[in-house]
């Protein structure tokens, strides 16, 4: 009869004589031969000789949950076995993973925290000097509470910039001192083997400016679309980094898609941008800045510069942006002047409002979160196309 792992089935099996065995596929149930009547559940397999793996022991008082647990373990082993994964291989993989975690914990334990590097530096290089007390005060006030107990290797660049920015609210001197201390910790830690890499601790700005949040108003967008040159408009329409379009090559155009190679992306990852009809027309308009007999008419650069073989310089584009005099339509209450880099944020915000942050990030070429980078391989091309067409429709309405 088929095996049904349940308390009733086990009680019925226990009435059989000791040593009785029932089998179904790889599942073996054997009535024990000891004083206490029990049923031994085993998973049998050949690898290459006959082997078994104990699943559990069941007696007359076993519960339905106990039976269910043993059955689930059997199904897992049976599924793996049919995929060519034996219990021995599972054990080996488990041992490897366990060792990897042990090694990682050992490595993390060996990492020096920011506090440990600071103390070592202070005792060896700073203690007794005139600036020791003020440096220690600044460290304890602006650094220690935030990152003191963290491994220095795991502190990212943006966190350090935020520390300097926060310290700067107490004055430029506080920001500059915090910057100097962080730079010293990074350099000293790397120099003495406490840091595996000090790249996050280098090139820290003394007083980083506040992050920009400026977006263009509809009036400013309309002004730029009507007054701006062919070098300005594509930046608005594409929604990418300021002036990134100046380095686009014709061979990167694939129908209605722009394939930006990883070498041209800040995140070192290839990116695809949907090209609307408006953008196609602007690309052709850029080519027609030259007569057909001009060498740059057939340049591999879409925005070819006056000098053969080179794209338009960013300085040239910046001059043309300033010539639009977009400040003339800026709201009087707005204290922050519009810049080219704000146009990308404007496009991002529009798509975020109309669609979602995920789609706006996909259009902008932002990196996915940690799980998304590993498991999420969907590229959102359908959604990116819809978003860019909606953005184009919005811009055309403003122009008219």
The three-state (H, E, C) secondary structure of the chain, written as one string: CCCCCCHHHHHHHHCCCCCCEEEECCEEEEECCCCCCCEEEEEEEECCCEEEEEEEEECCCCCHHHHHHHHHHHHHHHHHHHCCCCHHHHHHHHHHHHHHHHHHHHHHHHCCEHHHHHHHHHHHHHCCCCCHHHHHHHHHHHHHHHHCCCEHHHCCHHHHHHHHHHHHCCCHHHHHHHHHHHHHHHHHHHHCCCCCCCHHHCCCCCCCCCCCCCCCCHHHHHHHHHHCCCCCHHHHHHCCCCCHHHHCEHHHEECCEEEECHHHCCCCCCEEEECCHHHHHHHHHHHCCCCCCCHHHHCCECCECCCCCCECCHHHHHHHHHHCCHHHHCCCCCCCCCCCHHHHHHHHHHHHHHCCHHHHHHHHCCCCCHHHHHHCCCCCHHHHHHHHHHHHHHHHHHHC
> In the structure, what pLDDT confidence band is assigned to residue 307 with cuts at 50, 70 and 90?
confident
| Residue 372 confidence (pLDDT) | 57
| Residue 212 confidence (pLDDT) | 83
Q: Are 339 and 254 contained in the same domain?
A: yes
CATH of the domain at 19: 3.30.160
Q: Are 245 and 371 contained in the same domain?
A: yes
Asked if residue 381 is part of any domain, the answer here is yes
Asked if residue 98 is part of any domain, the answer here is no
Q: Are 255 and 304 contained in the same domain?
A: yes
Asked if residue 107 is part of any domain, the answer here is no
Q: How far apart are CA 297 and CA 292, in angstroms?
A: 6
Asked if residue 365 is part of any domain, the answer here is yes
Q: How far apart are CA 272 and CA 385, in angstroms?
A: 10
**Residues paired with residue 29 on neighbouring β-strands, in sequence order:** 22, 41
**φ and ψ at residue 46, rounded to 5 degrees:** -115, 130
Residue 230 CB coordination number (10 Å): 18
Asked if residue 224 is part of any domain, the answer here is yes
Range of the domain at 194: 114-201
Are 338 and 327 contacting, i.e. CB atoms less than 8 angstroms apart? yes
Q: How far apart are CA 44 and CA 24, in angstroms?
A: 10
Tokens, residue 323:
């010539």
Q: Are 267 and 332 contained in the same domain?
A: yes
Q: Are 19 and 69 contained in the same domain?
A: yes
- Mark which of 168, 201, 234 sits at the end of a domain: 201
Q: Are 222 and 197 contained in the same domain?
A: no
* Segment 129-154, tens digit of pLDDT: 878 888 898 999 999 999 999 999 88
- Mark which of 41, 72, 87 sits at the end of a domain: 87
Between residues 370 and 181, which one has the greater pLDDT? 181
Residue 207 has pLDDT above 70, yes or no: no
Q: How far apart are CA 233 and CA 348, in angstroms?
A: 16
**φ and ψ at residue 259, rounded to 5 degrees:** -100, 100
> In the structure, what pLDDT confidence band is assigned to residue 369 with cuts at 50, 70 and 90?
low
User: Residue 326 CA to chain centroid, in angstroms?
Assistant: 35
Tokens, residue 126:
């700073």
Are 43 and 55 contacting, i.e. CB atoms less than 8 angstroms apart? yes
Q: Are 222 and 365 contained in the same domain?
A: yes
> In the structure, what pLDDT confidence band is assigned to residue 353 with cuts at 50, 70 and 90?
very high
Q: How far apart are CA 92 and CA 97, in angstroms?
A: 9
CATH of the domain at 147: 1.10.150.130
- Mark which of 153, 173, 201 sits at the end of a domain: 201
Q: How far apart are CA 307 and CA 296, in angstroms?
A: 8
* Segment 62-101, tens digit of pLDDT: 999 999 999 999 999 999 888 888 888 888 888 888 888 8
Asked if residue 295 is part of any domain, the answer here is yes
* Segment 213-242, tens digit of pLDDT: 999 999 999 999 999 999 999 999 999 988
Tokens, residue 154:
């795991």
Q: Are 179 and 37 contained in the same domain?
A: no
Q: Are 354 and 245 contained in the same domain?
A: yes
Which of 117, 188, 182 lies closest to 151 in space, CA to CA?
117
| Residue 242 confidence (pLDDT) | 85
Lowest mean pLDDT among 165-169, 173-177, 263-267: 263-267
Q: pLDDT averaged over the chain? A: 89
Asked if residue 50 is part of any domain, the answer here is yes
Are 80 and 90 contacting, i.e. CB atoms less than 8 angstroms apart? yes
Lowest mean pLDDT among 31-35, 53-57, 175-179, 305-309: 305-309
Residue 252 has pLDDT above 90, yes or no: yes
Domain count, the chain: 3
Q: Are 66 and 193 contained in the same domain?
A: no
Asked if residue 100 is part of any domain, the answer here is no
CATH of the domain at 270: 1.10.443.10
Residue 371 has pLDDT above 60, yes or no: no
Residue 370 has pLDDT above 70, yes or no: no
| Residue 375 confidence (pLDDT) | 61
Q: Are 50 and 135 contained in the same domain?
A: no
Q: Are 364 and 333 contained in the same domain?
A: yes
């Amino acid at each position: 009869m088929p095996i049904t792992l349940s308390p009733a089935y086990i009680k019925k099996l226990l009435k059989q004589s000791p040593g009785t065995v029932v089998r179904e596929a790889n599942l073996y149930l054997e009535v024990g031969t000891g004083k206490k009547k029990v049923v031994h559940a085993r998973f049998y397999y050949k690898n290459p000789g006959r082997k078994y793996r104990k699943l559990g022991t069941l007696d007359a008082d076993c519960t339905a949950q106990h039976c269910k647990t043993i059955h689930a373990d059997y199904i897992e082993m049976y599924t793996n076995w049919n995929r060519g994964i034996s219990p021995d291989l599972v054990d080996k993989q488990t041992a490897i993973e366990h060792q990897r975690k042990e090694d990682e914990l050992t490595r993390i334990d060996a990492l020096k925290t920011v506090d440990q590097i600071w103390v070592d530096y202070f005792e060896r290089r700073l203690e007794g000097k005139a600036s020791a007390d003020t440096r220690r005060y600044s460290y304890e006030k602006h650094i220690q509470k935030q990152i003191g107990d963290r491994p220095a290797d795991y502190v990212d660049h943006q966190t350090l910039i935020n520390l300097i920015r926060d310290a700067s609210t107490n004055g430029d001197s506080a920001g500059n001192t915090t910057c100097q201390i962080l730079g010293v910790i990074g350099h000293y830690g790397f120099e003495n083997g406490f840091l595996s890499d000090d790249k996050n601790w280098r090139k820290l700005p003394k007083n980083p400016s506040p992050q920009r949040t400026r977006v263009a108003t509809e009036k400013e967008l309309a002004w730029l679309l009507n007054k701006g040159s062919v070098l300005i408009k594509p930046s608005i329409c594409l929604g990418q980094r300021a002036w990134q379009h100046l380095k686009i090559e014709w061979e990167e155009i694939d129908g209605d898609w722009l394939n930006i190679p990883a070498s041209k992306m800040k995140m070192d990852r290839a990116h695809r941008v949907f090209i609307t009809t408006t953008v196609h027309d602007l690309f052709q308009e850029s080519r027609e800045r030259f007569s057909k007999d001009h060498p740059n008419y057939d340049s591999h650069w879409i925005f070819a510069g006056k000098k053969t073989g080179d794209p338009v310089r960013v300085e040239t584009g910046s001059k043309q942006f300033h010539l639009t005099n977009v400040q003339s339509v800026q709201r009087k209450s707005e204290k922050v002047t519009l810049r080219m880099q704000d146009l990308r944020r404007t496009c991002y915000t529009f798509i975020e409002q109309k669609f979602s942050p995920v789609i706006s990030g996909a259009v902008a070429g932002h990196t996915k979160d940690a799980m998304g980078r590993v498991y999420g391989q969907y590229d959102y091309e359908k959604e990116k196309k819809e978003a860019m067409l909606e953005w184009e429709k919005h811009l055309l309405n403003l122009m008219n």
